[in-house]
Structure 1
Amino acid sequence: MWLIAAFALAGGLAQFVDGTLGMGFGVTSATVLLSLGVAPATASAATHAAKLPTTLISGLSHWRAGNVDTRVLLRVAVPGAIGGFLGAVVLTSISLSAAKGWMAGLLIFFGLVILVRFGFDKRLIPTPSSGDSARWLSPIGLLGGFVDATGGGGWGPVVTPSLMTVTRHEPRRVVGTTNAAEFVVAVSVSTGFITGVAHEDIPWLPVVGLIIGGVLVAPFAARLAGRLPHAPMGTLVGGLVILVNAVSVVAALGGLHGAVDAVLILAWIGFIARLAHLAWLREKATAAGTNDEVPAAA
């Protein structure tokens, strides 16, 4: 019972972040499962099994709150489902060691994407001069679905910042549309993993916990989308994802030892805390409509 309760708390926190920022549930859940020693394909399958009810409730909650653009949703969800199915099949067909390296690398990358987006206010895709460019939507969905399946998470880090760049929507509409489309992708990815028989070793107790926490929090997160300080939350999530997966990679390679590890981890935590504080100051100054200068992150 305590295991379900612990994962319910983790799932609730992950869904709170995902429902308000448009990213984080898959990356966070996959990171936790990998750190427990779950195989990569199984971790991704478990994450997407948990996503089925959580993304359904989250998508419906965002739709009721008026946060979903159905035109954009269809243009990203359909190619996202195709990419997700292909990604699931690919992940179940490669060796365990290769899958571990690939997934850890992707999770570190998406941690960096989240960190750069919220900690430094930088976007990786430039805004097209024509403003809303529908031609970008299908490639964004296809790529988002593929990396979501192969990385155990990644739909939000790919799609949310991209839609903020190629559409004119306010953040809450982008977050809501991304969350609603993610349900379609989760169904397709889960089908791909069932085809590849990656579901047989799924740790169902953690999955049940993730589902319970995610479902309970999803409606509240949808209502709070666009109202909470995104920058410090995203910075902390990105920093945590990078830290956990980097520790796993270093340990697999033989790692450092003792005090050196502790110093590096504490230094990283201090850097992320400082960056989150600066991001909060920047976001607060922007919301107030001021030109107050925020100190650099150095």
Structure 2
Amino acid sequence: MIESILNLGAAHADAIWPYALVGFFAQMVDGALGMAYGVISSTLLLALGVPPAAASAGVHAAETCTTGVSAISHILHRNVDWSLFRRLVIPGVIGGVLGAYVLSNIEGDAVKPFIQTYLLAIGLYLVWRSRHLPPKRSNPKIVGPLGLAGGFLDATGGGGWGPVVTSNLLIQGSSPRHTIGTVNTVEFFLTMSISIAFFLNIGWKAFTVATAGLLIGGVIAAPIGAMLARHIAPKVLMGSVGVILTLTSLFGIFKWLGYIA
């Protein structure tokens, strides 16, 4: 894998830097706020002229590596709640594998508008709560079913783990810093479980110039995002999660309505 990336970088040094910037920005947001890597990177790749299929393949291939670096960074910064991790990882992986198996029999696009509307409401609530109510720490009670649903939606809908799981854990009173770190760490195992079949089918052909750029930028940004999650105030983190969730949900709704190509 490393040799393939280096070969791509040497052969396409001039072409790779826009994709590296995309990967850097997307991973910075995802590492600091626990969501939006797929939405941001896919949107920016399409804006750069990458075909939709190639953009999707590139994002998923790069994410299997960037989530690993992000997980290590969050662990080193002590952003992971290991009790929450244990409650979340197995249901999340089960949901992801189940979603991957039933994807061919379920029309995921049919439920996307309802999920996006729900997440929009959650995003607006988190913004309001961060400004009007002090975050109250409490141990979240609904974790296993949340991980199962988040993993399933991520596999069938091409994304949703961070928005669904991070936002709902914050509503239940989980620490913003440790929620983001834990959700990012679990995402590595989720992404790997979903992506195994993908890699078996296409091998390393997924590593195009765009993928190499995403990977390089994401690996550089992952430690910075984890550091930001550790040092930013909880109210600011909660409000930032709400803003990102609101914007990405609005984007999904407008795209479904046909206002965005």
TM-score range, shorter chain: 0.7 to 0.9
- The reply to whether residue 219 of structure 1 matches residue 215 of structure 2 is no
**1:31-180 correspondence runs (5 A):** 31-32=43-44, 36-39=50-53, 45-91=57-103, 93=104, 98=107, 101-102=109-110, 105=113, 108-109=116-117, 112=120, 115-121=123-129, 131-134=138-141, 136-166=142-172, 169-180=174-185
1:52 to partner: Cα distance = 1.5
Moved more, 14-23 or 223-232: 223-232
Residue of structure 2 aligned with 1:15, choices 27, 45, 59: 27
Give how far 1:193 is off.
Answer: 3.4
C-alpha RMSD over aligned residues: 3.5
**Structure 1: distance between partners of 2:77 and 2:195:** 27
Question: Structure 1 residue aligned with 2:244, among 237, 251, 254?
Answer: 237
Aligned length: 238
Quick one: which amino acid aligns to residue 178 of structure 1?
Answer: V
Kept in 1: contact 2:68–2:185 (CA 8 A):
yes
TM-score (norm 2): 0.74
The unaligned stretches of length 5 or more in structure 2 are: 1-11, 131-137
Alpha-carbon distance between aligned partners in 2 of 1:47 and 1:102, rounded to the nearest angstrom: 23
In 2, are the aligned partners of 1:155 and 1:182 still within 8 Å (CA)? yes
Task: Give distance in 2, aligned partners of 1:80 and 1:29.
Answer: 23
Evaluate the alpha carbon distance shift between residue 216 and residue 186 of structure 1 in structure 2; reply closer, same or farther with a 3 A threshold: same
Structure 1 unaligned regions, length at least 5: 123-130, 256-260, 262-298
Give the equivalent residue in structure 1 for 2:192: 187
Higher helix share goes to which structure?
2
Native 8 Å contact 1:85 1:149 kept in 2: yes
Give TM-score, length-normalised by structure 1. Answer: 0.66
Higher relative contact order (CA 8 A, sep 6+): 2
CA shift for structure 1 position 57 = 0.9
Identity of aligned residues (%): 38
Computing the radius of gyration from Cα coordinates, the structure with the larger value is: 1
Post-superposition Cα deviations, 1:82-121, rounded to whole Å, max 9, x if no partner, equal 1112222333x259xx55x348647844762663254333
CA contact (8 A) 1:17 1:233 kept: no
Letter in structure 1 aligned against 2:155:
A
Decide whether aligned partners of structure 1 residues 139 and 190 sit closer, same or farther in structure 2, where only a CA change above 3 A counts. same
Q: Which amino acid aligns with 1:181?
A: V
Deviations 1:53-86 (A, max 9, x none): 1111111111111111222112211111111122
When residues 138 and 198 of structure 1 are mapped into structure 2, their CA distance, relative to the original with a 3 A threshold, is farther
Structure 1 counterpart of 2:8: none
2:61–2:206 Cα contact (<8 Å) kept? no
